[in-house]
Structure 1
Amino acid sequence: MSLGRTAVVLGGSMAGLCAAGALAPHFDEVLVLERDELPADAEHRRGVPQSKHPHFLLNSGRRAIDALFPGFEEDLIAAGGLHLMPSMDAAYLEGTGWASRKQSSMTMVYSSRILIERVLRDKVREVSNVVIREGVSVRGIETADGGTARGRVTGVAFSTAAGGDERIDADLVVDAMGRGSSVSDWLVAAGWPETPVQTLDAKVTYTSRWYDLPAPEDRPASWWWQHLVIMPTQDKGDHAPEHEFLVNFFPIEGGRTIACMGSWGIDMPRTTEDFVASAERVRAPLFAAAMAECQPASDVHLTRSTGNKWRRYDRLPDVPLGIVFIGDAICAFNPFYAQGISSAAGSALILRAHLQAAADADQRLDHRFFRRFLAEQRTGLKVPWGMAMARDRGYECATGTETLPSWQRKILASMTWPAFNLITGAAREDAVVDEHFARVFNLDESLGDMMRNPRVLAGLLRFKVNALLGRTKVPFGFDARQDPPGTDWTPGAVDRPTELAAVR
């Protein structure tokens, strides 16, 4: 059955497009209101400044989008996305040196944010009852009985590029307007209490520049890798600030790559000259050397709006009826952890399931519907939120409601790297630990669930004992000043002896 005549989505970015896919089977018309004029091709636009930085499409996110829009992943790869196995296709510098190259259970699709969004827009435009109106600015929401148990959002007011004002009645509104959404303020003005907000800003700043890669036949012979990752140093001694950077040389479609450097609480380069100079000071010379082999294709782009922020609509005494919240409009994350798109797509999938259940039971979208949706969405958001908190709370520069007392922060900071090293080390040796760690990374499992798994705990203990006894099977810590070795250390692979001399 139809659940209503009109559903309105505020915002036409990834979260809004995913929401449109969830709504389309259940409403006569789905209207997406977008401030920007959307390009036909994969191009940057004003409303998505973060599109100039790398975007990981985690496995949970790509599965969710593919469930909402069948064929999405296939279309993304056909458009140029790269389907890679990071453990084989990425050179990864962690701790003292390069990790060994070996096969694992995790694959990923690499592409630019603008290509992901363009492919998704094309899928949305194939849905006959979804209409995207571009160049409009949402000015407010229409409500009835605000702040009471019957309080409901009933429509949306917006202005057009031509200067006209319009309003539309809606059976359901989806707020997908991102971090800067004003909907919570509009709800307060309509009579609801202020929404509780959890925040933690670890002062993350990151800066990126796009490059054209040399043709495959012109690349250095040592470039077996397509993705280059340099983790921050764990050395507590004196070193250049750039050793604290998280660095990516991130492959995308069209023979291009995005060189990106980011940090917690450190000023980042803004000019091309400073960008190149900083690249030469990161702790692996390969990053600057790789950039030098490429042709610059953009200016330097810097982003600082990176704090974690969770608007807790589920904690309002009377939740507003007639509206749900998707993506950064409800929960925004430190983008270092690549959780935004996947979390938004996951929320849209939850919304679709609840709409389908209501339609099957011939039920109205009443108070019970919105409470149940918010509860399940909260459960889903706790996984990425917990991962972000586990890392960002350890930084002295962090501010917000979720900061820890100094003594707790110091304990957390002292535990983070040893725990991370233990897990990644065990994952190199143990297929079960590797599989669960990949699930955590891709938001398919919480870190807490992983660490409560007896088989995972046994794998971690076994690795720790073997490491103390010098009995590990996969070498680690190849000299960061040299090129990462391309030997395949997957169990059963052969001809691997010479590079052991390079292990520090």
Structure 2
Amino acid sequence: MLAEHFDEVVVLERDELPPDAEHRRGVPQSKHPHFLLNSGRRAIGEIFPGFEEALIADGGMHLMPSMDAAYCENDGWAPRKSGSMTMVYSSRVLIERVLRDKVRELPAIEIREGVTVTGLRSTGGGTTNGRVEGVEYRTADGDEGYLAADLVVDALGRGSSVIDWLGAAGWSVPPEKTLDAKVTYVSRWYDLPPAGRRPESWWWKHLVITPTQDTGDHPEEHEFLSNFFPIEGDRAIVCMGSWGIQMPRKTDAFEAALTRVRATAFGEAARACTPTSEVHLTRSTGNKWRRFDLVDVPPTGLVCVGDSICAFNPFYAQGMSSAARSALILGEMLRGRDAVDPAFFREFLDRQKKSLDVPWMLAMARDQAYDFATGSEVAAPWRRRLAARFSWPIFNAINATSREDAYVEETFAQVFNLDKSLKEMLTDPRFWFGLARYKVRQLTGRTVVPGGFDARHDPPGTDFTGYRGPGRASSSGARRGDDRVGA
């Protein structure tokens, strides 16, 4: 976006960038599954026309989760049917490689690799005339340098030291909103069996097992959120995560835990594949928002994007999409302007804040339910009790209603993909009417699409799109499922 408006854009990259889709030190999270939400897909597609097509050409998969993924919910496997949401599945490293290829096509951009930013240079820190003027850096050979710039963009991630450098130069340190729900997750990479040797029950590409809501005695693995996540090259990332539970770090413990996940198909699928990596663990999952928009005199000449300003619990897959949305805002504001003055940065922060409000509210809605969560945004005890009591029942009701109410399904998909805020959904009378109407149908035995298929068996492949009940299937031809799987 900057290359459209500046004569030269210099990217200072700490890593030596790999030529292909490979892991690198600066992105340890690349070893875990990454969802690119629809809002992020559109934003990146606007920034880089042809991005999605290039991703798919290199092995990414365009899938419809409601048809191509099997979801084990509270009461068992959800029914398979068409939905409004699609996704492109791939690894994080492939997404990055495709983006790097697109960046290198732009003549105004220079990428300097093996360069570590060590500080900012500025004048008038903390005053109305204060301005960030450039960055200090160190090369891989140890040489020190300085790069002057009309605009500095901080994309250093969660560990960015920019606020420390600003504080040392006289600016007020922005207040931080934080909430750490003690999420930990572990992942291992696998090769799928050759296509001709996969079990007949593998109609699905993606398996999702949500945490149990059973309050009785059960293995702790029933509390895991588990993903068998497909990526390019006939591979999958098997990931298990939890709130507040120690996760298995060693290979033997990881493989044993797979067999205790509450849906037996999950462990069976992993055992049918060939592991190709060690177990990768991540604990850096707290939500943190550096509120530059609340600073009386924000620094002119500096913009923060991605995790450097707002980092989310990665479970909610909001990071890449939020960063891309910030880039779009920046590009829109630069069009038709000759200078980036203090008013420009104040407006950018205000617009960015409105964009970040959407994913932040969604992350808070779930993570505030845990008594062991820490941070500035820990909810009052009564709010935690309400969140713990009602968040899962509401989620269950939305999923069940979505089987038969297209409006509720589309609305929830828009919220999940950051196209609509949680507040908009919760204040939508039609949305609540849909939930209430479905509940009445449940109580009177008038629901149509079945659900809750036994998690001890394979997920049923029956397509319930257009299903009208036993003996009343629509012309789309709902098929009968596996007789071993009962509702």
Q: TM exceeds 0.5?
A: yes
- The structural deviation recorded for 1:425 is 1.2
Distance 1:188 1:317 in 2: 14
**Residue type of the partner of 1:232?**
P
Deviation string for 1:443-502 (max 9, x for gaps)?
Answer: 111111122223222211111111111211111100000000000001133254555883
Q: Do 1:214 and 1:293's aligned partners in 2 also have CA atoms closer than 8 Å? A: yes
The partner residue of 1:210 within 189, 197, 201 is 189
1:502 corresponds to: 485
Aligned pair partner of 1:421 in 377, 383, 396: 396
Indicate whether 1:183 and 2:166 are aligned: no
From 375, 387, 390, the counterpart of 1:412: 387
Match in the other structure for 1:475: 450
For residues 78 and 470 of structure 1, the distance between their equivalents in structure 2, rounded to whole angstroms, comes to: 47
Aligned to 1:10: none
Paired with 1:412 and 1:429, the residues of 2 have a C-alpha distance of 26
Aligned to 2:264: 285
Could you say what secondary structure the match of 2:461 adopts? coil
| Correspondence 1:33 to 2:12 | yes
How far apart, CA to CA, are the structure 2 residues paired with 1:202 and 1:92?
Answer: 24
How many pairs align? 479
Structure 2 counterpart of 1:11: none
- One of 225, 228, 233 as aligned partner of 2:212: 233
Question: 2:162 & 2:346 partners in 1: Cα distance?
Answer: 18
Render the CA deviation track for 1:323-378: whole Å, top value 9, x for unaligned.
001000000000000000000001101110011142xxx4x211111111110100
1:31-53 deviations in Å (ceiling 9; x for gaps): 00010000010000011000000
Question: Is 2:463 aligned against 1:488?
Answer: yes
Q: Among 273, 283, 289, which residue is 2:252 paired with? A: 273
- 2 CA distance for matches of 1:471 and 1:244? 32
Once the two structures are superposed, the pairs formed by residues 187-202 of structure 1 within 5 Å of their partners are 187-202=166-181
User: Which AA in structure 2 matches 1:381?
Assistant: L
Counterpart CA distance in 1 for 2:235 and 2:179 is 34
Q: Which SS does the other structure have where 2:245 is aligned?
A: coil
The aligned counterpart of 1:298 is 277
Deviation at 1:255, TM superposition (A): 0.3
Structure 1 residues 194 and 216, CA, compared in 2 at 3 Å: closer, same or farther? Answer: same
User: Which of 36, 41, 46 is residue 57 of structure 1 equivalent to?
Assistant: 36
8 Å contact from structure 1 (residues 141, 153) kept in 2: yes
The percentage of counterpart residues that share the same residue type is 64
The reply on whether 1:313 has 2:292 as its aligned counterpart is yes
Give the secondary structure class of the aligned counterpart of 1:479.
Answer: coil
**Mapping of 1:324-363 within 5 angstroms?**
324-358=303-337, 362=338
Q: Are the counterparts in 2 of residues 479 and 502 from structure 1 also a CA contact under 8 Å?
A: yes
2:355 paired residue number: 380
**Which residue of structure 2 lines up, in the alignment, with residue 368 of structure 1?**
343
Which residue does 1:81 correspond to in 2? 60
Please report how far the alpha carbon of residue 138 of structure 1 lies from its aligned counterpart in structure 2 after TM superposition: 0.4
CA distance in 1, matches of 2:276, 2:359: 33
Q: Which residue of 2 aligns with 1:242?
A: 221
TM-score normalised by length of structure 2: 0.97
1:253 pairs, out of 232, 236, 241, with: 232
Give distance in 2, aligned partners of 1:353 and 1:196.
27
Deviations 1:257-286 (A, max 9, x none): 000000000000101100001111110111
Return the alpha-carbon distance in structure 2 between the equivalents of residues 96 and 263 of structure 1. 19
Deviations 1:383-417 (A, max 9, x none): 00000000000011110000012222111110100
Which amino acid is 2:247 matched to? M
CA RMSD, 1 decimal: 1.1
1:475–1:500 contact (8 Å) kept in structure 2: no
SS in 1 for 2:407: helix
Matches within 5 A, 1:115-154: 115-154=94-133
The equivalent of 1:453 in structure 2 is 428
Does residue 220 of the first structure (1) align with residue 199 of the second (2)? Answer: yes
What is the TM-score normalised by the length of structure 1?
A: 0.94
> Please, which runs of 5 or more residues in structure 1 have no aligned partner?
1-21
Q: What runs of 5+ residues in structure 2 fail to find an aligned partner?
A: 467-473
SS at match of 2:133: strand
Q: Does 1:437 align with 2:420?
A: no
Any idea what SS the aligned residue of 2:147 has?
strand
Q: Secondary structure in 1 aligned to 2:435? A: helix
SS in 1 for 2:8: strand
- On the 8 A contact 1:310/1:330 being kept in 2, the answer is yes
Larger deviation, residues 332-341 vs 493-502: 493-502
Aligned to 1:429, what secondary structure does the other structure show? Answer: coil
Q: Distance in 1 between matches of 2:432 and 2:256?
A: 43
Q: 1:432, CA displacement in angstroms? A: 1.1
Q: Secondary structure at the match of 1:210?
A: strand
Matches of 2:429 and 2:265, distance apart in 1: 39
Q: State the distance in 1 between where 2:327 and 2:447 align.
A: 43
Give a deviation string over 1:29-75, Cα, whole Å, max 9, x none: 00000100000100000110000000001111111011001110110
Query: Secondary structure in 1 aligned to 2:385?
Result: helix
Q: 1:285 to 1:500 in 2, by over 3 A?
A: closer
1:175-211 per-position Cα deviation (integer Å, ceiling 9, x unaligned): 0000000001100000011210000000000000000
C-alpha contact (below 8 Å) 2:464/2:478 kept by paired residues: no
* Distance in 2 of aligned mates of 1:357 and 1:463: 50
Aligned partners of 2:482 and 2:462: how far apart in 1? 8
Q: Distance in 1 between matches of 2:191 and 2:161?
A: 39
CA distance in 1, matches of 2:156, 2:255: 35
Q: Is the 8 A contact 2:465 2:478 kept in 1?
A: no
**Which amino acid is the alignment partner of residue 143 of structure 1?**
S
**C-alpha distance in 1 between matches for 2:90 and 2:226:** 17
2:93 equivalent to 1:110:
no
**8 Å contact 1:176–1:325 — kept in the other structure?**
yes
Distance 1:475 1:128, change over 3 A: same
For 1:89 and 1:256, the matched residues in 2 are separated by 16
Post-superposition Cα deviations, 1:212-231, rounded to whole Å, max 9, x if no partner, equal 00111110000000000000
**Could you tell me how far apart the structure 2 residues matched to 1:118 and 1:168 are?**
26
